[in-house]
Structure 1
Amino acid sequence: MKASDLFVKALEAEGVEYLFAIPGEENLDLLESLRHSQIRLIVTRHEQGAGFMAATYGRLTGKAGVCLATLGPGATNLVTAAAYAQLAAMPMVMITGQKPIKSSKQGQFQIIDVVDMMRPLTKFTRQIVSGDSIPSRIREAFRLAQEERPGATHLELPEDIAREDSNMSVLHPSMARRPTAEDKAVHAAAEAIRHARRPLLLVGAGANRKLTCKMLRQFIDKLGIPVVTTQMGKGVIDETDPHFIGNTALSDGDFVHRAIHAADLIINLGHDVVEKPPFFMRPGGPKVVHINFNSAQVDPVYFPQIEVVGDIANSLWQLKESLDVQSHWDFSDFQRIRDALITHIAEDADSDSFPIKPQRLVRDVRRVMPENGIIALDNGMYKIWFARNYPAYLPNTVLLDNALASMGAGLPSAMAARLVYPDRPVMAICGDGGFMMNSQELETAVRLKLDLVVLILRDDGYGMIKWKQAQMKFDDYGLDFGNPDFVAYARAYGAHGHRVNRTDELVPLIEQSIAAGGVHVIDVPVDYRDNDRILNNEIRERSQAL
């Protein structure tokens, strides 16, 4: 068959549902083959949006999301999305076109070495040089994208190769099981936990990828060990659970860090080095048990004494079966810290001042969104407030990026979440800076007839950097900008535009938008003036007093 037809059949064999794309002329044979496929082509308005959507699809399903671009500028526009998926361990396969490689007569027009460009950003990158190699190349790209640690892979399909004939058949995915941890390692970890006085669970991104929540729930229910999560571990445990202390939204100094310092043993579950370290190991400090799919990457501040390497859920099950509650365990300090954090989070959550305060904003969004509702956060000051103050009830209901931390990902990520979960309310939460980086995808959302609410938190500046500027005692300089009329902007795309003029308008406006369906953009002026006072000075003073 024609090589492009074989390529599409290989994608179908991998279970591909969507292909997020901006095709170019070098992709036209592949595009024609897709026309006869059950794979749904989602044409976006920027390659970066296509990449963010593919990566988020991978994050939510565990199956590699797929995006397509042409050569040259189309391929370079995928670079940020490649880094986004690779750093955050989201399975994604990128496909780019290329000029003919056997008889090209166009010189170097638009040609760069895309394979070499993608090499440091991916787990696997290859140019396909023969139609007969398509099945094995695609199988390998998907296998590597999806196995632990997941990430981005890339295939380049030149247009003359796409037109070749091939007699090869597709390769279907093989059945694979992740290895389990060695008994001796599990025994050593169980002994350390048994003899600790103040053991503490710390759940990171790796534990969120494979949905270990069921086994974690059983482990906590049986043993009662308190738990803290990183930002990308958020939602693995129901955060209304009395054993949940808090989220490490800040780098240091928050109440949860007092809990970490109080522990004499940290059970570090799913640790991922891309996240800011929630604690630094030091000689004479708490012992650390590393439980993960892979062994620890040792550095000057992370050198665990015990490593349990294998399937995380199975390791938890083995530990649960090996342990019982110990009478000498003392969790009183953790409970006191949890109570203090809950009290602090509740402050100003009822404030009617306008522009809206972050504490009230977070509370109101949580009040409106159901348990299984999904919020997709772009990157900005509000990400800290939501990570810290917004209780997640289920895994992957708070989509945030604490790896590449790229602006512009919030809206495309929310769109992908809505495609994966068409029956669940989805909300994109973006700063005005991040929203404008991929705001053109509003047209894509409207064209796809998605039901989606987009909150634009407007402070007319790059708020996160302004906060850091204030921390360093620099003058306020160079970080302010103007904005369009977001209501008119939304309506120009065929979406519904709204503006909040009083704090008490937000909840009914979100409720009405969800009920009405369609794409709704809500302009919400936000007041970040208390960031430095609350997130730096006040938290440190109160937590250190515990």
Structure 2
Amino acid sequence: MTEPNNTKNCANAIVKILENHGVTHAFGVPGAKIDSLFVALKHSKIKLVLCRHEQNAAFMAAAFGRLTGKVGVCLATSGPGVTNLTTGLATATSEGDPVLAIGGEVPLDERLKKTHQSLDATSLMKAATKFSAEIVSTESLAEVIGNAIRTAESGRPGAAFVSLPKDIGLADFAGDTDANWGQSWPQGSAAKACVDQGVALLNASSKPVAILGMQSSLAAYRDALIEFFKKSGIPYISTFQGAGAWLANKSGATYAGRIGLFRNQPADKLLDQADCVLTIGYDPIEYDPSIWNTGIKRPIIAVDVIASDQDNAFLPSVELVGDVASSLENITPSLKVNISPDYLAAAQAARGEILQTLAEGDVMDKFPVQPIRLVREIQKQITHDTHVALDVGSNYIWTNRYCASDDARQLLVSNGQQTLGVSVPWAIALSMLYPNQRVLSVSGDGGFLFTATELETAVREGVKFVHVIWNSHSYDMVAFQEQAHYGETAGVNLGNYDVVKFAEAFGCKGYEITSADQLAGVFEEAFKSDVPVLINVPVDYSLNQRLMQDVIQSYLN
């Protein structure tokens, strides 16, 4: 006998709470323990996106979370469905992306039995999330969902996991779904004493530098950052996920490039000279302080929404804990920083070195294509209405170092867990968020196949994007580091696959690049397509030794 959707059950209550919170999409893979929630979503305003793998559902939810500030939602059934979420949730927590994951579970009276797909999922998820709890009664349902949402979105955002036993999802809910469940409240500025101390340290410095971390790229901080750098004139550098070149374009400040992975960039040299370091929205997971701040004595001022984890190499002289924009707005009026002309010239020279390297790409005509040429061609495609999803690999290092973005969170990167395979799911999410804008995604040939089955999801959902594959038939980011460390490589060589036929098998369009001069024309044609496009670019990574050239200190030590 067919059971109709019971609009009074807990599954529908969860959906109502999510609707009230402004959730527009939910991503997932169905199963018997979570099916009541899928049925409830079918009758809701929330769009249910059926994915090919739970990990990719979590990636898509994370992209929504990062770009909207509201929890992205992903769903999975019990057992392996939940375990498949783990990588996506760990990535979201490391990157500061608010996500609510709901996993099905066996009925409560079977929780202690060795029954089909029984798993202590809440314990499993504690290491990957900020919050992990099970709904054990209908009375606690709204409380658990509300606290999960608040935890995911507050402070430095991250993932929250809620386990939903099958019988709880089907049970009637008698509570109030219209209360302000999950509502967060704005922070104020950091304490005045801390603001004053921070101002004093900056005004006393002659070679200050700002490090912009991943949380600095929030659109909500944009205006405050612009005004701060207009007034202070302090040069700044950025982690791979931090606010980039767009800030210099708006404020007139000097952007000296990015830092990350290997300590050998022009921005690293500037950082070494600094007599005062201001970090804004910086998380040590982005670039270990032991790499850039060991043995250097200078004051550090940390501006963030949470207190820093104390570290031998990162003990700020003062911490401005509170809303980042409000703290910056309170610092700005009192700034009178006298920056050394020589130091400013060094910052400008660092930026010039980055631009000079990028310009080399215009005359690199060899085939297979050299990385700088491909980065240059990719940069030319990034207009104001273009969003970029970048996978991990050698492509990730080259692109992060040399490809500037002109708006907040225009380029998505996994810089915490450095998770392989994020770019295709992110591109799908970006296309849903910005259906009338351009979406460009990038990966290596190895990372692409981690999540390429979601092309079927993309075609089914009617989204479109252009995906560039840097093809070396290898896990090259591993290969060049092994070569540097051991003098040989192991376990990195991959086989070939026909990208054009692969694209066509999913109803997409494919291009095979056979000369560097083809790139501009193929990009122009690809962005006119009504379906996702794959562009296979054979890449010559022989210049990869430049990525580790003159390393001052690195993970290899």
Name the CA distance, whole Å, in 2 between partners of 1:381 and 1:107. Answer: 44
1:267 paired to 2:278: yes
Q: Which residue of 2 aligns with 1:247?
A: 258
* Larger mean Cα displacement after TM superposition, 8-17 or 455-464: 8-17
Cα pair distance change 1:336/1:428, threshold 3 Å: closer
Is the contact made by 1:365 and 1:507 (CA closer than 8 Å) also made in structure 2? no
Query: Aligned to 1:192, which of 197, 201, 221?
Result: 201
Cα pair distance change 1:327/1:2, threshold 3 Å: closer
* Larger mean Cα displacement after TM superposition, 507-516 or 242-251: 242-251
Cα offset for 1:225? 1.1
Cα pair distance change 1:327/1:12, threshold 3 Å: closer
Q: Which residue of 1 aligns with 2:415?
A: 402
- Please state whether the residue corresponding to 1:497 is helix, strand or coil: strand
Q: Which residue of 1 aligns with 2:4?
A: none
1:238 paired to 2:251: no
Is the contact made by 1:102 and 1:160 (CA closer than 8 Å) also made in structure 2? no
| Amino acid in structure 2 at the alignment position of 1:397 | Q
Unaligned stretches of 5+ in structure 2?
A: 1-7, 553-557
Cα offset for 1:300? 1.3
| Amino acid in structure 2 at the alignment position of 1:453 | V
Cα offset for 1:283? 5.5
Q: Which residue of 2 aligns with 1:179?
A: 188
Is the contact made by 1:4 and 1:29 (CA closer than 8 Å) also made in structure 2? yes
1:436-465 per-residue CA deviation (whole Å, 9 max, x = no partner) reads 011100000111111211111110000001
Cα offset for 1:207? 1.5
Name the CA distance, whole Å, in 2 between partners of 1:105 and 1:136. Answer: 24
- Please state whether the residue corresponding to 2:164 is helix, strand or coil: strand
Alignment of 1:359-438 (within 5 A): 359-438=372-451
Is the contact made by 1:372 and 1:393 (CA closer than 8 Å) also made in structure 2? no
TM-score normalized by the length of structure 2: 0.93
1:53 paired to 2:28: no
1:202 paired to 2:214: no
| Amino acid in structure 2 at the alignment position of 1:310 | G
Alignment of 1:54-453 (within 5 A): 54-102=61-109, 107-170=114-177, 171-172=179-180, 173-174=182-183, 176-209=185-218, 211-235=220-244, 237-238=246-247, 243-277=254-288, 280-282=292-294, 285-326=297-338, 330-453=343-466
1:521-541 per-residue CA deviation (whole Å, 9 max, x = no partner) reads 111111111111x2233687x
Cα offset for 1:292? 1.1
Cα offset for 1:62? 0.6
Name the CA distance, whole Å, in 2 between partners of 1:462 and 1:175. Answer: 42
Cα pair distance change 1:179/1:234, threshold 3 Å: closer
- Please state whether the residue corresponding to 2:228 is helix, strand or coil: helix
Unaligned stretches of 5+ in structure 1?
A: 541-546
Cα offset for 1:70? 0.3
Size of the alignment, in residue pairs? 540
Cα offset for 1:474? 2.3
* Larger mean Cα displacement after TM superposition, 340-349 or 245-254: 340-349
Is the contact made by 2:26 and 2:47 (CA closer than 8 Å) also made in structure 1? yes
Is the contact made by 1:21 and 1:69 (CA closer than 8 Å) also made in structure 2? yes
1:21 paired to 2:28: yes
Query: Aligned to 2:16, which of 9, 28, 41?
Result: 9
Cα offset for 1:312? 0.9
- Please state whether the residue corresponding to 1:131 is helix, strand or coil: coil
Name the CA distance, whole Å, in 2 between partners of 1:205 and 1:539. Answer: 24
| Amino acid in structure 2 at the alignment position of 1:158 | P
Is the contact made by 1:259 and 1:333 (CA closer than 8 Å) also made in structure 2? yes
Cα offset for 1:249? 3.9
Is the contact made by 2:107 and 2:167 (CA closer than 8 Å) also made in structure 1? yes
Name the CA distance, whole Å, in 1 between partners of 2:492 and 2:339. Answer: 55
Is the contact made by 2:150 and 2:183 (CA closer than 8 Å) also made in structure 1? no
Is the contact made by 2:264 and 2:550 (CA closer than 8 Å) also made in structure 1? no
Name the CA distance, whole Å, in 1 between partners of 2:377 and 2:403. Answer: 10
| Amino acid in structure 2 at the alignment position of 1:64 | V
Cα offset for 1:147? 0.4
Cα offset for 1:145? 0.5
Cα pair distance change 1:327/1:432, threshold 3 Å: closer
Cα pair distance change 1:369/1:327, threshold 3 Å: closer
| Amino acid in structure 1 at the alignment position of 2:439 | V
Cα offset for 1:505? 0.9
Is the contact made by 2:30 and 2:38 (CA closer than 8 Å) also made in structure 1? yes
Is the contact made by 2:354 and 2:402 (CA closer than 8 Å) also made in structure 1? no
Cα offset for 1:301? 0.9
Name the CA distance, whole Å, in 1 between partners of 2:45 and 2:128. Answer: 30
Q: Which residue of 2 aligns with 1:44?
A: 51
TM-score normalized by the length of structure 1: 0.95
Identity %: 31
Cα pair distance change 1:409/1:444, threshold 3 Å: same
| Amino acid in structure 1 at the alignment position of 2:349 | R
